[in-house]
Amino acid sequence: MFTGIVSEIGEIVSTEPDGTVLRLVLACTFDPDGVALGASIACSGVCLTVTGIEVGADGRTLLGFDAGPETLAVTTAGSWSARTHLNLERALRVGDELGGHIVSGHIDGIARITGREDLGEAVHFTFAVPPELARFIAPKGSVCLEGTSLTVNVVDGMRFTSMLIPHTLAATTWAARQPGDSVNLEVDQMARYAARLAEAGSLR
């Protein structure tokens, strides 16, 4: 589990298709002694399993991951290439502060940035979401985009807005995001369960 609080920006070093799997190598500054094979790391919101650990020539930690067919089908991982920057978050440990909201790292779909308005040091983004996911997004609710826990401001049909503060822009890849970009979307789990309970009740 994760919280949507990004701890570092990593960089893809290489990608290599291997049958239906995409093998990735990502550079970061995580302590290699503190990362175990099999550990889960959210990479721009996508929960991936560490398959390799080594230290690169430049001193950065190199982590290997395998992105399977399902991940490639529902996320932006298939478009990642060398020099792509990703928001990283280590999995929660017992006793960690829950600073954002509960995030699973299981992407529901891809949203698209349809607007960006720079307001001083903050940025106001507008997103379009797939119709089947729009019902899970509510004003003042939470949503996870690119592994970042964001608060929804205004909802209008299949579009919603969110304001990103200077700290978020500085600590993540969001400062470089522009209209037309695709981003990984995970809806709030509480909203998903509430919708399912409502559906189950209507079947009685």
Per-domain boundaries in the chain:
8-90, 109-198
User: Cα(113)–Cα(174) distance, rounded to whole angstroms?
Assistant: 11
Q: Are 10 and 146 in contact (CB under 8 A)?
A: no
φ and ψ of 131, to 5 deg: -55, -40
Prediction pTM value: 0.93
Output the CATH code of domain 109-198. Answer: 2.40.30.20
| Cα gap 110→24, rounded to integer Å | 20
Q: Which CATH class is domain 8-90?
A: mainly beta
Reported confidence tier of residue 96, pLDDT bands at 50, 70, 90: confident
Fold identical between 8-90 and 109-198?
A: yes
Say what the pLDDT of residue 87 is. 98
pLDDT for the residue numbered 201: 63
pLDDT at residue 190, as a whole number: 80
Segment 53-57 mean pLDDT: 97
The b-or-e profile of 38-61 (16+ CB within 10 A means b, else e) is ebebbbbbbbbebeebeeeeeebb
